[in-house]
Amino acid sequence: AQSVTQLDSQVPVFEEAPVELRCNYSSSVSVYLFWYVQYPNQGLQLLLKYLSGSTLVKGINGFEAEFNKSQTSFHLRKPSVHISDTAEYFCAVKHGSGNTGKLIFGQGTTLQVKP
Amino acid sequence: DVKVTQSSRYLVKRTGEKVFLECVQDMDHENMFWYRQDPGLGLRLIYFSYDVKMKEKGDIPEGYSVSREKKERFSLILESASTNQTSMYLCASTTGTSLFFGPGTRLTVL
């Protein structure tokens, strides 16, 4: 079965510092990869997604992620974080193509940005 | 703008009660999902539906059932609520690769 592992449950970082949130997935023939963000007391919203093509994917709010097939990773990065980036971040993977198929989520990483 | 709404943000129920969580989407999406979110466990899929009156079990369906009588509405039912069902419940819908989530319902079972 497909699985997703987020290697850090919490990541504390100072404002304006760079950050990387790590995500590894179990290998499959074809996968789609996602990062979602959940701000306090809100639902999840899509940050970015990799479907095909360029392995470097840019998302909203200055975030980007790199798909690395050989290492089965999809790490999320931001060069300079803001207090407002404090949230929980979820990596997710979806098998195959088409409209069906379910998203499998990682355990989540809490990003704590300190002033 | 895409919109997924859930009937309640906060709900408190007693053990043994039958609980209904409602989800409505206005995007004409075929696929709808119910997840539960628990600290340290991420989101786990309870049930999903690809079409009206169709449903499939997710990873943790025990103790839950669902109903989809209309395309826009997907209900999650706790037949007899138990304390271990205290959790955040998230509904989502999609017609493609990306899920759109509702704000969530935080359910407490006493």
CA–CA distance, A47 with A37 (Å, rounded to integer): 6
Domain ranges, ordered by start, for chain B:
4-109
Residue A85 is predicted with a pLDDT of 97
Higher pLDDT, A100 or A104: A104
Is A105 in Cβ contact with B43 (below 8 Å)?
A: yes
> What's the mean per-residue pLDDT of chain B?
93
Residue B53 is predicted with a pLDDT of 87
Tell me which residue in B33, B58, B90 faces A43 most closely, judged by beta carbons: B90
CA–CA distance, B29 with B93 (Å, rounded to integer): 6
Region A9-30 average pLDDT: 91
DSSP track, chain A: ---EEES-SEEEEETT--EEE-EEE---SSEEEEEEEE-TTS-EEEEEEE-SS-SEEE-GGG-EEEEETTTTEEEEEESS--GGG-EEEEEEEEESSSS---EEE---EEEEEE-
Chain A residue with Cα closest to B5:
A43
Residue A99 is predicted with a pLDDT of 52
Residue B40 is predicted with a pLDDT of 87
Region B44-61 average pLDDT: 92
Is A102 in Cβ contact with B101 (below 8 Å)?
A: no
Query: Is there a contact between A107 and B41 (Cβ–Cβ < 8 Å)?
Result: yes
Reduce the DSSP state of residue B15 to 3 states and report it.
coil
Residue A53 is predicted with a pLDDT of 87
Question: Can you identify the CATH homologous superfamily of domain B4-109?
Answer: Immunoglobulins (2.60.40.10)
Classify domain A4-114 by CATH architecture: Sandwich (2.60)
Chain A residue with Cα closest to B40:
A107
Q: Model confidence over B8-51: pLDDT tens digits? A: 999 999 999 999 999 999 989 989 999 999 988 899 999 999 88
Chain A positions contacting chain B at CB under 8 Å are: 4, 6, 9, 32, 34, 36, 42-46, 49, 51, 90, 92, 94, 99-100, 102-108
Q: Which two tokens stand for residue A112?
A: 């704590």
Query: Is there a contact between A36 and A46 (Cβ–Cβ < 8 Å)?
Result: yes
Domain ranges, ordered by start, for chain A:
4-114
CA–CA distance, B47 with B57 (Å, rounded to integer): 5
